[in-house]
Structure 1
Amino acid sequence: MGSSLFKLTSLNLNGIRSASTKGVERWIATTRPDCICVQEVKAQAADLAGRFEQLDEMRGHFHLAQKKGYSGVGVYTRHEPSDVLAGFGCEEFDAEGRYVELRFDTPARRLSIISAYFPSGSSGEERQQAKFRFLERFHPHLMALKASREFILCGDLNIAHQQIDLKNWRSNQKNSGFLPEERAWMTKLLHTEDADGGLVDVYRQLQPTATDTAYTWWSNRGQAYAKNVGWRLDYHLATPALAALARQEAIYKDEKFSDHAPITIDYEFRL
């Protein structure tokens, strides 16, 4: 692999301390991404201090939830950002630690790497309504960002966009993560000719028809992992100029430090 490639990984940790006991640090040291976006850190600043501020010589920047053992996102990077933004300006969801943006601006470019963790609505109607509120607030934020800079957003979106993005799509049409409203939100975001869209699902650009190999999450019930009854919930969403630089992708299904698999995409640029 040429050194000109920028290796960007996204991984829902399902708890950084838990993932650590299952070997995530060894895996990161082996695969050596330039940058890794993590979600569900499930830790407070005191838990990270002296232990998780750095991974494989990458410095971490975090947006943690106020509630203990809940949510939280981070970006570990080998390159010093010009700015770090924790939260996207929505009090309800910023309290839950769902967004951190690292800016790598130079006189020649404005570029961000973002780690985001969308709410899950699977626990019931109250959280599903919160998820809809998040989507409603988050869309204009992404559009404003797209108008002013190039970015790649990595994260657990808790949405499978199309039928090929989950094994049992027929039986899940009324379940959170594959609801018509959630899928429509994604379709609008990715619409190539709509002024309210224009982002690119980078994995799908590289693998437009992949099904069984595309999944990044498996339920803990009913031998879902063993039978590969999965969902594609983890994404790289990029502005078109950066998406055009994507060269290859890898989903590491065999790694088991979480109920999610890491997804790495190599881009032909350097920070």
Structure 2
Amino acid sequence: MRVVSISVSGLEQAVEKGFFDWIADQNADVICVQDHRMRVYEIEDRNLIPEGYEAYFIDGELDEHGGVGIYTRHFPKAIMYGFASEQADREGRFIQADFDRVSVASVLAPCALGREDELLGDENDLTVLDHKDEFMDAFALHMQKTLRKRRQFIFCANLQTAQHVTDASPVYHQLDVSGFLPHERAFLDRLFDEMGAIDAFREINRQSNQFTWWPEWDGGERKNVGLRADYQMLTPGIRKTIQDGWIDDATRFSDHAPLIMDYDIEIGF
């Protein structure tokens, strides 16, 4: 079973850059897309669905919320839109496909980089960083409940945050910006080290400078100024099914690179 996670920063522009041609060469069973920035009906009307795949997407109230989706070659038993968090569900940040032996979810956290203190303008005077933190707290609660279940899960997530020093270029060790703040990193410590979620990529690759995102505003791709902000997170029961995985950093449809993982799991019925 091959699972791809990719944050596209706009699905339509990614397709124009050859996203579907790339998919045709991947032999992927499930492709989790984050940040498509479209209405669901537009995806269907413009037939933004690669040949041989079914498409399941959710959008947010605003296109800027990003939205997430799943392309799959196998019909799921069920689709879950949202995870009972008012904020996340309204903004289209979670979708899950249940297959016979595993569930696969696509997840997108809010981005606060460079906008940490900007007010959202609601009556609570929340900042953009507060907004991201609220999502992370809700997602942590969902993960805590999920990790108690007997069913197995793969969460493909752009969490807009790197965990370890080796997951961020040195410039971020000095900057006080969202994506590598102490409390954000502590959230991932809690998720992986305390709750027991498995960081699939790090199970097979411990090298430094394994980034999935490079800031366009800082010429990050040229300087290798990046973060490993994209994850495939597993429930512990399928830890030993990991066969291979890599970041396709030679491929660019956005400022994120695709994360590809192979598992010894039969997804079909």
Q: How high is the TM-score relative to the length of structure 1?
A: 0.90
Contact 2:34 2:158 in 1 (8 A): yes
Residue pairs, 1:212-227, within 5 angstroms: 212=209, 214-227=210-223
Identity of aligned residues (%): 31
Partner of 2:96: 101
Q: CA deviation at 1:56?
A: 3.0
Q: Greater CA deviation, 48-57 or 136-145?
A: 48-57
Distance 1:206 1:134 in 2: 29
The equivalent residue for 2:58 is 63
Map of 2:111 onto structure 1: 120
Assess if the C-alpha contact under 8 Å between 1:28 and 1:56 holds in 2. no
> What is the alpha-carbon distance in structure 2 between the residues aligned to residue 53 and residue 103 of structure 1?
22
Q: Distance in 2 between matches of 1:265 and 1:177?
A: 23
Shift of 1:68: 2.9
For residues 112 and 141 of structure 2, the distance between their equivalents in structure 1, rounded to whole angstroms, comes to: 21
Q: Write the distance in 2 (CA, Å) between the matches of 1:53 and 1:144.
A: 34
Tell me how far 1:232 sits from its aligned partner.
0.5
Number of residue-to-residue matches in the alignment: 255
Partner in structure 2 of residue 247 of structure 1: 243
- Asked if 1:140 is matched to 2:141, the reply is yes
User: What is the alpha-carbon distance in structure 2 between the residues aligned to residue 187 and residue 57 of structure 1?
Assistant: 38
For 2:40, the aligned partner's letter is A
Separation in structure 2 between the aligned mates of residue 118 and residue 187 of structure 1, nearest angstrom: 17
Kindly indicate whether the alpha-carbon contact (under 8 Å) linking 2:82 and 2:89 is maintained by their aligned counterparts in 1: yes
Contact 1:38-1:155 within 8 A present in 2 as well: no
- Say which of 228, 231, 245 aligns to 1:232: 228
CA contact 2:65–2:110 (8 Å) conserved in 1: no
SS in 1 for 2:223: coil
| Counterpart pick for 1:75 among 63, 66, 70 | 70
CA drift of 1:32 comes to 2.1
Tell me how far apart the structure 2 counterparts of residues 144 and 42 of structure 1 sit (CA, whole Å). Answer: 29
Return the alpha-carbon distance in structure 2 between the equivalents of residues 86 and 53 of structure 1: 20
Displacement, 1:69? 4.8
Aligned 8 A contact 2:67 2:92 in 1: yes
Q: What do you get for the CA RMSD once the two structures are aligned?
A: 1.3
Q: 1:204 to 1:41 in 2, by over 3 A?
A: same
Partner of 1:211: 208
Aligned 8 A contact 1:85 1:100 in 2? yes
For residues 113-135 of structure 1, what are the alpha-carbon distances to aligned partners after superposition, in whole Å with 9 as ceiling and x for unaligned?
00000111222221100111111
Task: Extract structure 1 runs of 4+ deviating beyond 2 A.
Answer: 50-54
The aligned residue for residue 3 of structure 1 is none
Secondary structure at the counterpart of residue 224 of structure 2: coil
Q: 1:183 aligns with which of 181, 185, 188?
A: 185
Contact residue 43 and residue 49 of structure 2 kept, 8 A: no
In the TM superposition, residue 170 of structure 1 has moved relative to its aligned partner by 2.0
Secondary structure at the counterpart of residue 176 of structure 1? coil
Determine whether 1:170 maps to 2:173: yes
Counterpart for residue 17 of structure 1: 12
CA distance in 1, matches of 2:223, 2:157: 24
With normalisation by structure 2, the TM-score equals 0.91
- Within 2, Cα distance between the matches of 1:233 and 1:119? 12
Q: Output the CA distance in 1 between the equivalents of 2:230 and 2:40.
A: 25
Correspondence for 2:123: none
Unaligned residue ranges in structure 2 (runs of 5+): 118-126
Closer, same or farther in 2 for the Cα pair 1:130/1:228, shift >3 Å? same
